[in-house]
Amino acid sequence: MSTEHDSLRQDIVEIGRRLWTRGFVASNDGNISVKIGADRLLCTPASVSKGFMTAEMMVITDLDGKLVSGAPGRKPSSEIQMHLVAYRERPDVGAVVHAHPPLSTGFAVAGIPLDRAVLAEVVTTLGSIPIAEYGTPSTRELAESVAPYVKAHDGLLLANHGALALGRDLFGAYYKMETIEHFAKISLVARMLGREHLLSREEVERLQALRGTYGIAAPAPICPDPSPAGAANADPSCQVIFAPSAPGERLVPDTSVASAPGPVSVGTDGEIRLTYAQLNELIDEAVRQLAATGRH
């Protein structure tokens, strides 16, 4: 059966299949939308697994989320509100992908934004990935919580919920979702290993200049101020990236993650840093030894 916007419908089916195959969604989680006109969106319907959709299932809404057309019984996902805010705030955005990838969602649950200058390709493409404040899923509250962040970011975490990616087209948005999850995975491994070397502020500035050279359309420049990691960033004009200044250096050892679980870390200053668990173990061992000494 030939349907209107058939190739876009097929793209949504394919992206849904990839989200499900990669474990970025469980059950009927996630939603995908693409702009097909000044006041029209093609989007995934409510209550379907993203791994097993068909082209005919998709629904068309206006930019207020009102159903325009769709197969009988199909209605838009209630989380479409979040997509509408992204289209409203960013006229350059043509597609939105929302999912619950486990590693990025883990960072969103822990309240740790992905805003450290760690990977060059993330700095040049997404910049920072902040966390939008928690809002009850499917409500206006959640939609409004993402509004300040989507102005300057193509990727964001949703506190205790998931992740959101914006793109010029469907695959552009989907690939950003892949990058967010991949970045979360690498960040987690580095922190479990007990250290994380950061790109220096100067290197970040070099990468920022490359954005223009490669024609990468970032929604906003990187903020010049090296704000502390984890700082709330609802600044709509630039992206806050944690990158310490170190003139002449491209990489900067960062010891601020030494309190994360992992092996005993020795800072570049020679100082040994222990986790609470490691410190408790040492104290327990000392007490055991004292007790043993007392018995002899």
CB of 100 to Zn ion, least distance (A): 6
d(CA 120, CA 291): 53
Smallest distance from the beta carbon of 98 to Zn ion, in angstroms? 6
If one counts every other C-beta atom within 10 angstroms of the C-beta of residue 59, the result is 21
Q: Which of 4, 56, 79, 281 is catalytic?
A: 79
Distance of alpha carbon 158 from alpha carbon 100, whole angstroms = 9
Q: Which is nearer to Zn ion, 94 or 162 (CB)?
A: 162
| Residue 9 vs 98, nearer CB to Zn ion | 98
Place of tokens 């700095």: 123
- The yes or no reply on residue 113 touching Zn ion (CB under 5 A) is no
Looking at the Cβ atoms of 126 and 163, the one nearer to Zn ion is 163
Q: Are 113 and 174 in contact (CB under 8 A)?
A: no
Tokens of 24: 């970025």
Cβ nearer to Zn ion, comparing 101 with 162? 162
Are β-strands 155-158 and 162-167 bridged in parallel, bridged antiparallel, or unpaired? antiparallel
Q: How far is the CB of 160 from Zn ion (least distance, A)?
A: 11
Min dist CB 138 to Zn ion, Å, is 8
**Residues whose CB falls within 8 Å of the CB of residue 248, separated by 6 or more in sequence, listed in order:** 202
- What is the distance, to the nearest Å, from the Cα of residue 110 to the centroid of all Cα atoms in its chain? 13
Site string for Zn ion, 154-183 (x = CB under 5 A): --------x---------------------
- CB burial of 33-45 (b: ≥16 within 10 Å; e: otherwise) equals bbbeeeeebbbbb
Nearest position to Zn ion, beta carbon:
162
The reply to whether 89 belongs to the active site is no
* Residue 203, number of CB atoms within 10 A of its CB: 19
Residues that bind Zn ion (rule: CB under 5 A) add up to a total of 1
Active site residues: 79
Positions in the binding site for Zn ion (CB under 5 A): 162
